[in-house]
Amino acid sequence: MDIKEQLKNDVYEVLKDYVKKEDIIIEKPKMRQMGDYALPCFTYSKILKKSPNDIANLIKENLKNYEINVINGYANVFINKKDFSKNILNKILLDKENYGSSNIGNNKKIVIEYSSPNVAKPFGVGHLRSTAIGEALKNICLKTGYKVYTINYLGDYGTQFGKLIYAYKKWGNEEEVKKNPIVELKKLYVKFHEEAITNPSLEDEGRKWFKKLAENDSEALELWNWFKEESIKEYEKTYNLLGINKFDSYIGESYYKDACNEVVKEIEQKGLSKISEGATIVDLGEDKVPAIIKKSDGTTLYITRDIAALLDRKKTYDFDEMLYVVGTEQKLHFEQLKEVLNKMGYDYNITHIGFGMVLQDGKKMSTRGGKTASLESLLNDSIDLARKIIDEKNPNLKNKEEVIKQVGVGAVIFNDLKNYRINDIEFKLEDILKFEGETGPYVQYTHARINSLIKNMNNININYDLININEYEWNVLFSLGEFKDVIVKSKLNYDPSLIAKYIIDLAQDFNKLYANYKFIIEDENLMEFRLQIAYCTKIILKEGMRLLGINAPDEM
Ligand code: ARG
């Protein structure tokens, strides 16, 4: 049992006539010097009919194994540092990268939909965020004992394909598209919109071709399929760079084009819809934007396909939870989706995992208008800068190209995940690749440095009686003990940034110890103790990075 669990049990022994064990709260004190754990006693006041301070004193009198200070209704607890340290180091040495796993999921099924780029359009920075967050959530859910299914819901359907087919037929060139599919298709799409300003009848042409696609016209289908194939080939390059090899399903929007008609029928039969200006809509109440589920020309919409997709996923996976990792810009869409489903009588547990925008110099970074380069080139720029830095720092590095790639890509992913996802993030290449500060390369570098340090480990038994734990050692050891809680919290809040922040703090605490104390010393016992701290830190940093989808090179 870990020490926190032990403390909970001990407190429970004192209060068991009044409170349930799961209601005992153990917090982190505001400052480390106040104690290792803080027990707030306010909530027990009513039941025990005692002041919080009296309750804190009661706990103190009964727990003689701990050092406890009572302040302002809190019992601040100092634990036995040696017991704790021995316990935590032995546990990590034994469990290795499995340390921190839990089973709060109890094999419950979670479907996570993420990435989901739009065919014939560049894989944008928003899709990168979705991919990074989704991939991290997948790893976190697996680590906490859930069964996970992943879906890449390709945006391969919608009126835009009608426009694109028309534009290609009118202005397109097969050779050009083959050479540079996404750029060329995008150009055609942009041209369509430019021309449509002076010639609004183009919109009708676009609609006509979308309708043909919906009705499985062979020419429309053939072009659309081709656009899709070329696009997917391009995305594969990006996924390869990111080290993402597979989703459980790539079923995109188009798959649901027929099922949509069933959805509309069901909604009509349940009496939930009405006709407004020729379109079929579902009223969601006053002050709310109604959901349009069928247009006047009979074609269906994004939300209709989402309803069909969700019903299908429930059938296929029988999930307990369904997560949509999609930008906050689509908040309204997912609110509508939930409301329509509720009206239809399906109360599935679905959550929109929103996230903020990527900014460059304070402005939205976008791939629209063809101004910003694709994600692939953005990643390649990061890799190039990593190459420059590593060539300077460590020109003779083994496996250099591989490490450079891991550093360049890791820097981008870390930058994406280190802040709470709802916040916008700033993208500045020079900053994210710094080897100091709150960056991916900083954590990777700390990991690599420890890796060379621990070659001196002798694997002897430590005699803890001879050890006097100093403040720096203690900070690292205590952090190691927090790993599991951090992962659980990041699952419950769907927030990978908690892990990113945690590994930054751990790396900083370790580097402070490293800067202040020597590791290779005469005293074998103490040397082994410090090296074990280093070794365990390395394991946790590496596992933390893995959870975020970042590689940890052994040398850099
Ligand atoms: N392809 C969409 C886009 O890029 C994201 C898909 C979101 N998922 C969903 N189930 N609607 O905007």
pLDDT score, position 501: 98
- What's the rounded Cα separation, in Å, for the pair 106 and 85? 29
Out of 3.40.50.300, 3.30.1360.150, 3.30.710.10, 3.30.1360.70, the CATH code matching 3-79 is 3.30.1360.70
- Å from CA of 304 to ligand 1 middle: 13
Question: What does the pLDDT read at residue 377?
Answer: 82
Report pLDDT for 313.
98
Q: Measured in angstroms, how far is the CA atom of residue 309 from the centroid of ligand 1? A: 12
Torsion sign, CA atoms 428, 434, 438, 439: positive
Predicted pLDDT at 297: 86
| Residue 113 near ligand 1, beta carbon < 6 Å | yes
**Low pLDDT (below 70) residues in the chain:** 1, 366-373
CATH 3.30.1360.70 in the chain is located at: 3-79
Q: Is the CB of 155 under 6 A from ligand 1?
A: yes
User: Which residue owns the Cα nearest ligand 1 atom 11?
Assistant: 306
Of the CA atoms within 13 Å of residue 262, those in its CB half-sphere come to 11
Under 8 Å CB-to-CB from 329, ≥6 apart: which residues? 357
* Confidence (pLDDT) at 31: 87
Query: How much is the pLDDT for 372?
Result: 47
Write down the pLDDT at residue 447. 98
Inter-residue contact 427 to 360 (CB < 8 Å): yes
Q: Does 118 contact ligand 1 (Cβ within 6 A)?
A: yes
Q: Whose CA is nearest to atom 7 of ligand 1?
A: 326
Verify whether ligand 1 is closer than 6 Å to residue 131 (CB atom): no
Pocket test for ligand 1, best of 115, 116, 333 (most atoms within 8 A of CB): 116
Tokens matching residue 415: 């930058």
pTM of the model: 0.92
Ligand 1 within 6 A of CB of 116: yes
| 358-360 and 273-276 beta bridge pairing | unpaired
**Span 129-177, pLDDT tens digits:** 999 999 999 999 999 999 999 999 999 998 899 999 999 999 999 999 9
Q: Hey, which of 153, 352, 357, 366 would you mutate to test ligand 1's pocket, going by the most ligand atoms within 8 Å of its Cβ?
A: 153
Residue 153, ligand 1, Cβ within 6 A = yes
Q: Cα(331) to centroid of ligand 1, in Å? A: 11
Which residue's alpha carbon is at the smallest distance from atom 6 of ligand 1? 116
Could you tell me the distance, in angstroms and rounded to a whole number, from the CA of residue 494 to the centre of ligand 1?
19
pLDDT recorded at residue 371? 47
In the prediction, which pLDDT does 392 show?
95
- Closest residue by Cα to residue 159 from 226, 123, 213, 195: 213
From residue 234, alpha-carbon distances to 154, 227, 238, 413 in Å are 13, 11, 7, 20
**What does DSSP assign to residue 50?**
S
Asked if 443 and 414 count as a contact pair (C-beta separation under 8 A), the reply is: yes
Residue 230: what residue type?
A: E
Q: Residue 1: its pLDDT value, please? A: 65
Q: Where in the chain is the domain with CATH 1.10.730.10?
A: 375-548
Q: Which residue has the tokens 């006097």?
A: 468
CA of 165 to the centre of ligand 1 (A): 21
Q: What is the pLDDT of residues 309-322, one digit of tens each?
A: 999 999 999 999 99
Q: Which atom of ligand 1 is nearest to the CA of 116?
A: 1
Fold of 375-548: Isoleucyl-tRNA Synthetase; Domain 1 (1.10.730)
Q: Work out which ligand 1 atom sits closest to the CA atom of 330.
A: 12
Interval between CA 326 and ligand 1 midpoint (Å) = 6
Taking only the tens place, the pLDDT of each residue in 208-245 is 999 999 999 999 999 999 999 999 888 888 999 999 97
Largest Cα–Cα distance of the chain, in whole Å? 86
